[in-house]
Structure 1
């Protein structure tokens, strides 16, 4: 079928919306009419880094309506409202143990550019393959996704809002609720108050944390953090974050989360932990140098990378929607909507921090 899709042709170039051909879904796949899709930092990385072979049709926080299902699909049917999340095989040890975000084939299924069976579904009008991104390429009018990446959601909630639950919001909230599982009245600090950090903050409030400390360099984002559950906020440009955190919690915090990917900030997120505290790393980062004895092992601290909030999307995304419906996870406060043709402006606004979570409306 003929579709429109937003494609990055080479490193650093603006995305271009172009005509393309989308194949029919295979037995394990679902055809979805995309209504809207969030923009995540990983989309910018996909545009600029070459992590997926060019040309690549980007987008990985899609929400839409099921149009057609393959012969083996049982969890959704045409007409269902769905969120598209990360792909996973469903068969490896980690998937079977309930940790599909750590699927042995995760890197391949998200970034190699092909579908589950190692063939392509998206083609240019001159019959050249276009790489799929995160198994969905949701900056498209239609998408074909593996059933494992499709989550049925409540039709009573505005579908335009829901795409970011498939990645960014799930990552932040899931890291707290699924992975860290903080004890009631424990203390947490979150470095970076973008979409992922603020989602973690709202989840920490749901979990009943005592001190929920937000650290950022933008006062407007810290104001948002205060409104969403932060008990204290620190602008690390004007205040030494480590000193300020230890003044609030002298023994160190139980948990810290870094969403920035900045090496110096990552070091701070470990320094502020109490002995035996846990640091979760969520940002895309480069090299970080530790003195293992002094920084980590000597006080039994844990430094752990967490992917996609260690979530099972089919279970966790409906939970987040229920929290939203009860007013406990008001992620709608973080979004700004854009027209499909304004997608590059949305990327720019996300990059300069003026918008926390852009969402592209694709369906008319």
Structure 2
């Protein structure tokens, strides 16, 4: 058994608290990973806030980066291998076998529901199994067990604090632009929300060579950072008519828009800034339903599509992101604020309040 520290949610509506836990050894194709760094994502915050009391205690976390320290007998990864942990998938359904694991037929079971705290759970607290397996990892801990399918081998040379967000937020933002929207250099792109995912989308559009990239966010510092990371303009939505401003900046409307806010009013605005046959990608978690201007969508031939994890096949895309980061094309250090693992409370608060764009816990042990 392996002693570890983990951020455990004990009470519905509360915040997780650092607690001593124990992990069983890996079995089958599982790998035990020493978590060297783990990002805190908006999904951790939002899911923890509504997690049912009957399924507590629970450990969240789905942006782990670290080093393989033990493997199950069927695992091909080796000890000492640096890995980024990402979303889980079954590996067998039609979407998985055709390179679209983000849309796995059992994605909800593998990622959002955890492992149910049965006897097969990787985590124990005071001798009793507790729920884990969030996104196949529950990596808000000093050690985590993942499956080989969601442990992506990476080269040395990228520090764990920068590698961790590649597992979700950066993969989602960059992938939405490069994979899902497949923008071209002549395209214009507008991104609503300049958090970790939105700023990653801005960087993706810059990597694609897009001639006009507009970021929309009410926070001045985030608008400034968007400009630094490649946006050609930034719009304050509280300062006036966003649609008019974006249409002017893009010469008549954007070819593509990315919404990271999931705010119904923002979704409507995002559609109004598109030129005919433009496309809006929805990547934010928020309002479960929103009214859409059907007449506008039909009249302009617009496309509205959801995007999960940037349409990524992570074993291909995450190494590409690592290469881009090492080449200086993804300045991830501009997004990341590091916290010692024992300062979990401060990091969680920074994520909840938005004081940090991407809080990352670093395990120095």
Which TM bucket (shorter chain)? Answer: over 0.9
Q: Can you give the 5+ residue segments of structure 2 that lack an aligned partner in the other structure?
A: none
Q: Higher mean Cα deviation, 346-355 or 335-344?
A: 346-355
Q: In the alignment, what sits opposite 1:150?
A: 151
Q: In the alignment, what sits opposite 1:23?
A: 24
Deviations along 1:84-127, one digit per CA (max 9) or x if unpaired, are 00011110011111110111111001122218x99311121131
Does residue 191 of the first structure (1) align with residue 188 of the second (2)?
A: no
Shift of 1:201: 0.4
Distance 2:119 2:249 in 1: 52
Q: In the alignment, what sits opposite 2:172?
A: 171
Instruction: Name the TM-score, length of structure 1 as normaliser.
Output: 0.96
Matches within 5 A, 1:44-63: 44-50=45-51, 53-63=55-65
Q: In the alignment, what sits opposite 1:93?
A: 94
Are the aligned partners of 1:3 and 1:22 in contact in 2 as well (CA < 8 Å)?
A: yes
- State the SS of the aligned residue for 1:66: strand
Are the aligned partners of 1:186 and 1:210 in contact in 2 as well (CA < 8 Å)?
A: yes
Q: In the alignment, what sits opposite 2:7?
A: 6
Q: Can you give the 5+ residue segments of structure 1 that lack an aligned partner in the other structure?
A: none
Shift of 1:51: 6.7
Q: 1:118 to 1:231 in 2, by over 3 A?
A: farther
Deviations along 1:36-89, one digit per CA (max 9) or x if unpaired, are 100100110122111793211111100111011111112x21000111000111
- State the SS of the aligned residue for 1:131: coil
Q: In the alignment, what sits opposite 2:66?
A: 64
Shift of 1:353: 2.2
Two-structure CA RMSD over aligned residues (Å)? 1.7
Are the aligned partners of 1:254 and 1:277 in contact in 2 as well (CA < 8 Å)?
A: yes
- State the SS of the aligned residue for 2:207: helix
Q: In the alignment, what sits opposite 1:41?
A: 42
Shift of 1:350: 2.1
Q: 1:268 to 1:51 in 2, by over 3 A?
A: farther
Are the aligned partners of 2:268 and 2:293 in contact in 1 as well (CA < 8 Å)?
A: no
Q: 1:254 to 1:51 in 2, by over 3 A?
A: farther
Are the aligned partners of 1:263 and 1:285 in contact in 2 as well (CA < 8 Å)?
A: no
Distance 1:199 1:224 in 2: 11
Q: 1:118 to 1:166 in 2, by over 3 A?
A: farther
Matches within 5 A, 1:107-256: 107-114=108-115, 119-256=120-257
